[in-house]
Chains A and B, each alone.
Chain A
Amino acid sequence: MYKYVLKRVAFLIPTILGVTFIIFAVMNITPGNPGLAILGPTVPQEDIDAYNHALGYDLPLLQKYVNYVRDMVVDQDFGISYFTKQPVFDEIWPRFQLTIKLSLLGVLLAALIGVPLGILAAVKQYSLLDTIPSILSFFIAAIPGFVLGTLMLYVFSLKLGWLPSYGTGSFSHYIMPVLAIAIPPAAQNMRFTKSSMLEAIRQDYVRTARAKGAPERTVIWKHALRNALLPVVTQVGMSLGLLICGSVVVEKLFSLPGIGSLIIDRINFKDEPVIIGGTILISICFTIVMLLVDIIYAFIDPRIRAKYSKSKG
């Protein structure tokens, strides 16, 4: 198991190098430059070129990439923002923490709502406990977080006055954003868990367990659920990764200063150090989440554990 984890951690390095290079390449081919964005269109081209040169923006792609990786690895330096002149890490870290907080809460809530409902719907198939959540999830999964968020703002903030519409000062500020990002994946989790459970319930080993006279609780919780959870764990892990990358819409709607909205804002200004630093942080986080999913997977699935135990032996 230890070897498995090490192998996955080692995989982080080429992933980050690859992501960094892709971002550098993409930034290099997109039009615009920081000199133009900062100095404005009234400034002659030679002054814009001089400004870009002073920033090191006009260096060849490979040289820029190598310099960046060297600074990142040797000095843990993500550079200085072209715009705010502040260290990139100081800019992205507080925002990243907020996004992580939001995404973790969202994914936890989505799992707490979606997974039990999915199990219930599968176990009580064709009953009201299956039909109502299934229909609801069908509609909710189709509603984008942005629409849901606007609706909640209208109801809970404007009409009822229960919750503040922006900011991050207290727990109440998080209720609507977390719900807005949790409800659509909760619906997906419910549908995913239900289909996975239904598939597991129809397996021979479940039939065997029942034939052997095992109580229904044991059959569901020990035999069916454990196997059905394997794809659900992947789904939940993936949704956490997607929320980290994709919570930008909700961040914008509720005026939360997260990493996604920062990157979007700075793309317009070609603030390369911030865009690359933020993307690297997101990709590291995404990779770690996927690693955790794999580890949990290994704990749930005895076949993976056995494979690594054998190779160790």
Chain B
Amino acid sequence: MKKKCLTLLAAVLALAMLLAGCGSGNTGGTQDGTSSTGATNADGERVLRIRKTASLISTDWELVTDTADLPIIWVQVFQGLYGINEAEGGYYKELAKEVDISDDGLVYTITLQDATFQNGDPLKASDVVFSYNRAMQNARFNYVTNMIDKVEEVDEKTVRFTLKYPYSAIDHTFFTIKISSEREVTEAGDSFGTGPHTAGTGPYYISEYDPASGLTLKAYDGYWEGEPAIKEVQYIIISEDSAAVIAFENGEIDFMTDAPTAEWDALVAASGENNAVLKGNNIRMLCINYQSDVNNGILGNPLVRQAICYAVDKESVNAVAAGGLGTPTAEYMPSDYVPTAPAAAEGGYETFEYNPEKARELLLEAGFTEADLEAGISVGTLTTYGAATGEKAKAAQVIQSNLKDVGLICEVEVADASIITPRLKAQDYDLGIYGDSGNFDFNNIRQQVHSESEGTQVIKYRDENSCVDWERVEELCDLGVGTTDVEQRKQYYTELWSIIAESATIFPYLHMPVCVVWSDDLNIDKAQLCPTYYHLYDFSWQ
């Protein structure tokens, strides 16, 4: 009996030790003071808790790649010469106080704001030169820096950019490249980005960082535009949508952007008036590879490609893939966020509105018979990436069904992005679904259509058998950045997009929605909410 008691005691002790170990260390998002009515920090200040879906891989702005992390590091912690505000229509001067452009458009002289870094150092022209030179050595930023010839310090508060050729889309460069403290980055060396730092000029600095569990931001009280109203922000990693919804309903999260559309009704019920569905700067497209050799090169026939575009019912795709919350579109970039983007409403290019009868007519015109359409004509495989139950996969199934309705048959193939993206780049597909996001200047389309971006094109236009006048397309790309006149640029881009649209090779179909919810005690102006880059600085507690 004594032996049994001892065994039982040992087991209980072991369990107790394990359980006691559970309390040690806080790797999660919650801490003392957390309750369903709000979390507070050690100083008794309210903590804003925001859901994050995945780890932040670095606190260095150059290494952040996930689009969900960009608003954190690129907006709250670091700043560029320009900022972005989609709600107010694009770029604005941030660390740039004044910008002077030479008559030939080659020299930009910029006077800096009287800002300080979070470490207390004043922002100097040498920091800007350092940050640009550092970014220009990073291949990832070639697409926004390769037009820069040199960056020079004129005086402590003035910096001069000399361009190799006139480039009016430089605003995007001024936004993309962030300014960091030369002293702090240099002192940290290779370890910069692996921990908390104070090397940005943004309203918040990173006070805690653990790739496993998230990060904490604290308000920078010396922020050059005034101290932020919210003093502490915790980003908590909750990867599962259902768990995030429960955490929000339970009051354990205060703000969630990119909330799951499948759970939107529950979130609306839980948030009352505190929610918004924003039109995302994130567009889904169907791409048709005119060089595919499937079914004797059927996709090389422009009539077949046009028939495919006419067959796609964007409303159905929206209903299935985005819960009806998205916005069907014919624009490559949203014209309401991108001033230089040609608006579909203004015409000037083919939009292929849903018309299955027209699709069938085009197929008959292409030489197929009614019998062929009844039997089904193969157009190969519709390839996309992401989860098998993700929005792209769902869209693929709807498009497959749409095509079948007009007599075209395709298989659907869904795999991880790491597998599919290189295949799309290598033109190893028939039909594909892909997305493009975060564009604020129509010049970004050159990544898809210009031969200098050969490695990134989903459709390879520069080819002796090209389906478009690619030389004119490239000329229009160059003309577009050769002038600062927005209306003129828009005309060039309208012609450019009309050439691409006419070829029926890239077919934009849907703006993905950005669903946002927040708690009752958070003060957020709905009109100020931005789909891509939200600004915590504009938030406050009730």
Residue among B26, B140, B453 with max Cβ neighbours from chain A (10 Å): B140
Query: What is the number of residues of chain A that contact chain B, defined by CB distance less than 8 Å?
Result: 57
Which residue on chain B has the smallest CB distance to residue A154?
B246
Complex Cα distance, B252 from A161, in Å, reads 11
Which of the segments B53-61, B118-126, B499-507 contacts the partner chain? B53-61
**What chain B residues lie within 8 Å of A51 (beta carbons)?**
139
Bound form: Cα–Cα A32–B140 in Å? 17
Bound CA span A167–B193, Å: 24
Query: Is A268 interfacial (CB 8 A cutoff)?
Result: yes
Known: A42-B447, A43-B140, A94-B212. A108 touches B14 (CB 8 A): yes
Number of chain B residues whose Cβ lies closer than 8 Å to a Cβ of chain A: 61
Q: Which residue of B lies closest to A85 (CB)?
A: B194
Interface set, chain B 170-202, CB cutoff 8 A to A? 190-191, 193-194
A123 vs B416: C-alpha distance when bound (angstroms): 52
Q: Could you tell me the distance in whole angstroms from the C-beta of A253 to the nearest C-beta in chain B? A: 5
Q: Closest residue of chain A to B12, judged by CB?
A: A112
Per-residue A-contact encoding for B408-432, CB less than 8 Å = 1, 0 else: 0000000011110110010000000
Task: Kindly state whether residue A131 has any CB partner on chain B within 8 Å.
Answer: no
Complex Cα spacing A170 to B15, Å: 15
Interface: A181 (CB within 8 A): no
Tell which of A47, A98, A265 touches B139, judged by Cβ atoms closer than 8 Å.
Answer: A47
> In the complex, what distance in Å separates the CA atom of A164 from the CA atom of B32?
12
In contact, A40 and B236 (Cβ under 8 angstroms): no
- How many whole Å from A16's CB to the nearest CB in chain B? 24
Is B242 in contact with chain A by the CB < 8 A criterion? yes
Q: Which of A85, A101, A150, A174 has the most CB of B within 10 A?
A: A85
State which of A38, A86, A256 has its C-beta within 8 Å of the C-beta of B140: A38
Q: Which residues of A lie under 8 Å from residue B416 when comparing CB positions?
A: 32, 268
Interface string of B203-215 (1 = CB under 8 A from A): 0000000111100
A83, A150, A166, most chain B CB atoms within 10 A: A166
- Is A252 close to B, CB under 8 A? yes
Instruction: Assess the B139–A157 pair: CB atoms within 8 A.
Output: no
Contacts of B65 in A (CB 8 A): 37-38, 40
Contact A173 B28 (CB under 8 A): yes
A48 contacts across to B, CB distance below 8 A: 139
B252 touches A166 (CB 8 A): yes
Q: Is B240 an interface residue (CB 8 A)?
A: yes
Cα-based distance from A265 to B416 in the complex (angstroms): 12
Contacts of B238 in A (CB 8 A): 166, 255
Measured CA separation A204–B336 after assembly (Å): 85
Cβ of B34 under 8 Å from chain A: yes
Write out the residue numbers on chain A whose beta carbons fall within 8 Å of the beta carbon of B31. 169
Task: Let me know if B389 is at the binding interface, CB within 8 A.
Answer: no
A103 to chain B, nearest CB (A): 11
B23-42 contacts to A, CB under 8 A, are: 23, 25-32, 34, 36
A127 within 8 Å of B by Cβ?
no
Q: How far is the CB of A147 from chain B (nearest CB, A)?
A: 11
- A residues less than 8 Å from B54 (CB atoms): 265
Q: Which residues of A contact B240 (CB under 8 A)?
A: 252-253, 255
Q: Are A168 and B236 in contact (CB under 8 A)?
A: no
Asked whether, in the complex, the Cβ of A42 is within 8 Å of the Cβ of B190, the reply is no
Q: Contact: A171 with B19, CB < 8 Å?
A: yes
The answer, yes or no, to whether A233 is at the interface (CB within 8 Å) is no
One digit per residue, 1 when the CB lies within 8 angstroms of any chain B CB and 0 when it does not, for chain A 20-51 equals: 00000000001110001111111111011011
Q: How far is the CA of A45 from the CA of B425 in the complex (A)?
A: 10
A257 vs B238: C-alpha distance when bound (angstroms): 10
Nearest-Cβ distance from residue B351 to partner chain A, whole angstroms = 26
How many angstroms from the CA of A102 to the CA of B213 in the assembled complex? Answer: 16
Partner of A108, one of B18, B20, B249: B18
Residue of B nearest to A259 (CB): B212
Report yes or no: A85 in contact with B193, Cβ–Cβ below 8 A: yes
- A262 near B: Cβ within 8 Å? yes
Chain A residues positioned under 8 Å from B417 (CB to CB): 268
Distance of A76 Cα from B31 Cα, bound (Å): 34
A53-95 CB contacts (< 8 Å) to partner B: 83-86, 91, 94-95
Q: Does B247 reach chain A (CB closer than 8 Å)? A: yes
Q: Which residues of B contact A167 (CB under 8 A)?
A: 26, 28-30, 34, 236
A174–B416 alpha-carbon span in the complex (Å)? 32
Complex Cα gap A37–B416 (Å)? 12
- Asked if A42 and B212 sit within 8 Å, CB to CB, the answer is no
The verdict on A166 contacting B247 (CB below 8 Å), with A39-B139, A253-B240, A262-B212 known, is yes
- Residue on A nearest B190 in the bound complex, by CB: A85
Complex Cα distance, B24 from A169, in Å, reads 7
Taking a contact as CB atoms under 8 Å apart, the answer to whether B246 and A158 are in contact is: yes
B239, A91: Cβ atoms closer than 8 Å: no
Which partner residue on chain B sits nearest A44 by CB separation? B455
Q: CB of A254 within 8 A of chain B? A: yes
Q: How far is the CA of A257 from the CA of B18 in the complex (A)?
A: 18
Q: How far is the CA of A91 from the CA of B212 in the complex (A)?
A: 8
Complex Cα gap A86–B454 (Å): 33
B22/A43 in contact, CB under 8 A: no
Chain A residues in 8 Å Cβ range of B422:
31-32, 36
* Contact (Cβ within 8 A) B418 A168: no
Minimal Cβ-Cβ distance residue in A for B243:
A253
A136, B434: Cα distance in complex, Å: 47
Q: Once bound together, how far apart are the Cα atoms of A171 and B22, in whole Å?
A: 6
- A261 contacts chain B at the CB level, 8 A cutoff: yes
Given A50-B139, A170-B22, A171-B22, A158:B249 Cβ within 8 A: yes
Report A-chain residues with C-beta under 8 Å of the C-beta of B425.
41
Q: Give Cα distance in the complex from A47 to B250, angstroms.
A: 47
Q: Report if B143 contacts A (CB, 8 A).
A: yes
- Tell me, in angstroms, the Cα distance from A20 to B141 when the chains sit together: 35
Nearest residue (CB) in A for B143 is A42
Q: A32-B418, A38-B65, A157-B250 are in contact. Are A255 and B243 (CB under 8 A)?
A: yes
Whether a CB of chain B sits under 8 angstroms from the CB of A110 is: no
Q: How far is the CA of A265 from the CA of B66 in the complex (A)?
A: 12
| Cβ of B409 to closest chain A Cβ, rounded Å | 27
Interface flag for B44 (CB, 8 Å): no
> Is B285 close to A, CB under 8 A?
no
Which of B22, B211, B447 meets A174, CB within 8 Å? B22
Does residue B21 face the partner (Cβ distance < 8 Å to A)?
A: yes
Whether B456 is near chain A, meaning CB under 8 Å from some CB there, is yes
Q: Is the CB of A168 within 8 A of B26?
A: yes
CB distance from A101 to the nearest CB of B (A): 6
B301 neighbours in A (Cβ, 8 Å): none
Can you name 23 A-B pairs with beta carbons within 8 Å?
A30-B418, A32-B416, A38-B65, A41-B421, A42-B143, A42-B447, A43-B140, A43-B142, A43-B456, A44-B455, A95-B212, A98-B27, A101-B22, A157-B250, A166-B30, A167-B236, A168-B213, A169-B28, A169-B30, A169-B34, A170-B23, A171-B20, A174-B22
6 closest Cβ pairs, A-B complex? A167-B28, A32-B418, A47-B139, A257-B212, A167-B30, A168-B28
A44-B454, A84-B55, A257-B28 given. 16 additional CB < 8 A pairs?
Answer: A36-B421, A37-B65, A41-B425, A51-B139, A85-B63, A105-B19, A108-B15, A153-B246, A158-B246, A166-B29, A166-B252, A173-B28, A252-B239, A253-B243, A257-B27, A261-B239
